[in-house]
């Protein structure tokens, strides 16, 4: 099949997110100007450079009340955030933190997680997370939207501090079997890394 208008695919649901899959999940912690913590998952996320390590993620549609997502508002107020990565054991807690709750609600508490101080940024990291990347906000790009209620944004951040849980490091390498990062597929589906194969470059 082929379609060019993304609204006219003729399938039960838009296949887009199932096609660009799996997508890793940025579990972003931030604080507002008063220091109230916030935590939310974003699967429009990836690494885009490594010298220095740089990440992008997309806090898109405004919340149901029309306001920007707390994550975006906090990052623009404080210029910093943490991308925590989600190991398999944390999948339910991650999902809980996607609830549309008021800005005053601390999702760490909501999901029974432990906020722990970061080294370079005010936002706490998730103590239970196998990996946390402390980030400085670089820029926000406003992306085109074809719907009046939809807003699309790309946030770019430079990684200024990296935390890795000791139990996922083996022989100086990241042990993916211990890490088991969770990733988003389409619909309500997820996956986690359970198998790895190696392939050397031709040159
Ligand atoms: C696995 C998962 C991935 C998500 N990915 C995104 C995303 O890439 N962009 C987005 O705007 N919302 C995404 N959401 C929804 C946000 O997590 C949700 O709107 C959240 O309430 C935003 O929180 P905040 O207002 O505290 O920033 C995702 C939710 C889940 C469960």
Could you report the per-residue pLDDT of 32-74, keeping only the tens digit for each?
999 999 999 999 999 999 999 999 999 998 766 778 899 999 9
Q: What is the pLDDT of residues 72-103, one digit of tens each?
A: 999 999 999 999 999 999 999 999 999 988 87
Q: How many domains does the chain have?
A: 1
Asked if residue 41 has its Cβ within 6 Å of ligand 1, the reply is yes
**43 close to ligand 1 (CB < 6 Angstrom):** yes
The predicted structure's pLDDT at residue 100: 87
6 lines ligand 1 (CB under 6 A): no
In-domain check, residue 9? no
Helix boundaries (H) for 97-144: 107-110
Count H helices and E strands in the chain, helices first.
Answer: 5, 14
CATH code: domain of residue 171: 2.30.110.10
Mean pLDDT of 9-22: 97
Is the pTM of the predicted complex or chain greater than 0.95? Answer: yes
pLDDT at 51: 98
Which domain, by its residues, includes 143? Answer: 22-188
Does residue 201 sit within a domain? no
Tell me the per-residue pLDDT of 129-188, one tens digit each, with 9 for 90 and over.
999 999 999 999 999 999 988 999 999 999 999 999 999 999 999 999 999 999 999 999
Q: Is 76 left (phi over 0), alpha (psi -120 to 50) or beta?
A: alpha
**pLDDT score, position 64:** 65
Compute the distance from residue 11 Cα to the ligand 1 centre, in Å: 24
70 lines ligand 1 (CB under 6 A): yes
Q: Does residue 138 belong to any structural domain of this protein?
A: yes
> What pLDDT does residue 21 have?
98
* Residue 2 domain-assigned (yes or no): no
């Amino acid at each position: 099949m082929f379609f060019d208008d993304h609204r006219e695919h003729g399938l039960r649901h838009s296949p887009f997110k199932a096609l660009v899959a799996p997508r890793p999940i940025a579990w972003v912690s931030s604080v507002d100007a008063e220091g109230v913590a916030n935590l939310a998952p974003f699967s429009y996320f990836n690494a885009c450079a490594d010298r220095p390590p740089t990440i992008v993620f997309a806090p898109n549609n405004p919340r149901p009340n029309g306001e920007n997502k707390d994550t975006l508002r906090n990052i623009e107020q404080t210029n910093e955030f943490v991308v925590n990565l989600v190991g398999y054991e944390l999948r339910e807690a991650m999902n809980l933190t996607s609830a549309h709750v008021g800005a005053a609600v601390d999702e760490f508490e909501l999901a029974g997680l432990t906020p722990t101080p970061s080294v370079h940024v005010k936002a706490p990291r998730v103590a239970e997370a196998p990996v946390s990347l402390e980030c400085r906000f670089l820029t926000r790009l406003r992306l085109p939207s074809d719907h009046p209620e939809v807003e699309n944004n790309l946030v770019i951040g430079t990684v200024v501090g990296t935390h890795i849980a000791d139990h996922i490091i083996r022989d100086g390498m990241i042990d993916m079997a211990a890490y088991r990062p969770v990733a988003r597929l389409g619909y309500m589906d997820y996956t986690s890394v359970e198998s790895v194969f190696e392939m050397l470059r031709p040159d």
